Structure 1
Amino acid sequence: MTAGLRELKKQETRQAISDTATRLFLRHGFEKVTIAEIAAAAQVARMTVTNYFPRKEDLALDHHEALVASLADAVTSRPVGESALAALRREYLAAVERHDALAGFSGPEFARMIAASPTLTARLRELHERREEALAGVLASETSASADDFMPKAAAALLAAAHRTLFQQVLELTSAGDTDQRIATTMARTAEQVFGLLEPSLAHYAVRRAGPER
């Protein structure tokens, strides 16, 4: 088997385990399903499940790595002349338009499952905190901030809080049974208001400069 085929097989196995776990979680509730039950239903060894998903929560929140990196990635990929705030607003509105899971879009049953699970709620809070830390690191690098410059952390806290609040609103609207399209329309309008609140302080912060030095 070539390296490419092996990698494809690993991805297929990971997805199959995740899909099986999600079905069980939705049927029985996250807290009641065990790793052993997931392994049996997916027809793999228990160790195989934990090799792919060291934490049970990540079987449900299987986009956790992308979520943590999302804000930092949006800032590092912004074009010359664009601020961190403008980049994050643009990327968020695009995510809402495509009903992206990283913006909180899911099915009603899934959203209710998260709300009903203290473990998943705590894990989601941890992921939001890690996303804020990653953003702060990028902002410090992008602005060549000194070690005692508090601005990158402060800006990251404000920007991450905006995203966390919007994410939670999407979950609540989903749990209430709104369609993705209705949620997207509502959140696009809400996001403009939320990001607008940050304009006075962050509109000109971390603007991408031309050349290797930013």
Structure 2
Amino acid sequence: MSIDTLGLREQKKRETRQAISDHATQLFLQRGFDRTTIADIAGAARVAKMTVTNYFPRKEDLALDHHEAFAAGLAEAVARRPPGESALGAVRRAYAHALEQRDPVIGFTGRDFARMITDSATLVARLRDLHDQREEALARLLAAESGERPAESREHSEPGEHPAESGERPSEDDAEGRVVVAQAVAAQLAAADRLLFRELQSRVLAGQDEDAVAAALTRTARHVFDLLEPAIGGYAVR
């Protein structure tokens, strides 16, 4: 099979996935998430129900189509930080950029879409779970950068697998302490991120235009991150 053929197949898959997502969004906005079935979406997209579930195993993921990017967002922002920047600095810079771009991942979804989410207990629960995943991914990254992994991973490690910076294997207390610190920092950053998301969504639901929302969140985010700076501004500086 030629490379061109493989490329065409991948393009066709992307187009099919996007078409399913677009039709699902239209139906969710018209009927509400809970009243729309997979069969409705398959019919609108002119594909089999199995095709829908192959691309989107969970119905919620049809509504929250950016779920993978959302769950990984904080960790990816920190992982890409340049030398001299802290974890807080990376999150702060990424959030400011997302505001400039009016990124739907941080809440710029439009009033109707935001209302559709808040009207569905299923989607509210899924969004809460995604925020938890977002925090957990960041905690794993910070723990890994400190030379440690969560306790459940360390239980299966070979002796000496995680040396300390000095070249000697850290004590169990030191290792666990670094993991807890990483989790604590991730929790603070994720809490700020979660609250900013809620504030942005509440303004969208209130009907404010995107420029007004971005301006208000720029001020609020600056204040929130300034308050965090004395506590964790020096943590995980690359």
Structure 1 length normalisation: TM-score? Answer: 0.95
Report what 2:123 is aligned to. 120
TM superposition shift of 1:147: 3.7
Q: Distance in 2 between matches of 1:4 and 1:106?
A: 31
Report what 2:107 is aligned to. 104
Q: Map 1:1-214 to 2 at 5 A.
A: 2-145=5-148, 146-149=175-178, 150-208=180-238
Structure 1: tracts of 5 or more residues without a match: 209-214
Letter in 2 for 1:175: L
Superposed CA RMSD: 0.9
TM superposition shift of 1:144: 2.2
TM superposition shift of 1:197: 1.5
TM superposition shift of 1:143: 2.2
Q: Distance in 2 between matches of 1:148 and 1:205?
A: 14
Higher gyration radius (CA): 2
Q: Distance in 1 between matches of 2:218 and 2:15?
A: 34
Q: Distance in 2 between matches of 1:190 and 1:17?
A: 37
Secondary structure of the 1:138 match is helix
Could you list the per-position Cα deviations for residues 62-116 of structure 1 after superposition, in whole angstroms to 9, with x for gaps in the alignment? 0000001110001110000100000100000000011001111111100111111
TM superposition shift of 1:148: 4.2
Q: Distance in 2 between matches of 1:141 and 1:83?
A: 15
Structure 2: tracts of 5 or more residues without a match: 149-174
How many residues get paired? 208
Name whichever of 141-150 and 66-75 sits farther off.
Answer: 141-150
Q: Distance in 1 between matches of 2:81 and 2:188?
A: 19
Letter in 1 for 2:229: E
Q: Distance in 2 between matches of 1:130 and 1:80?
A: 26
Identity %: 59
Which segments of structure 1 move beyond 3 Å, counting only runs of 4 or more? none
Q: Distance in 1 between matches of 2:100 and 2:52?
A: 33
Structure 2 length normalisation: TM-score? Answer: 0.86
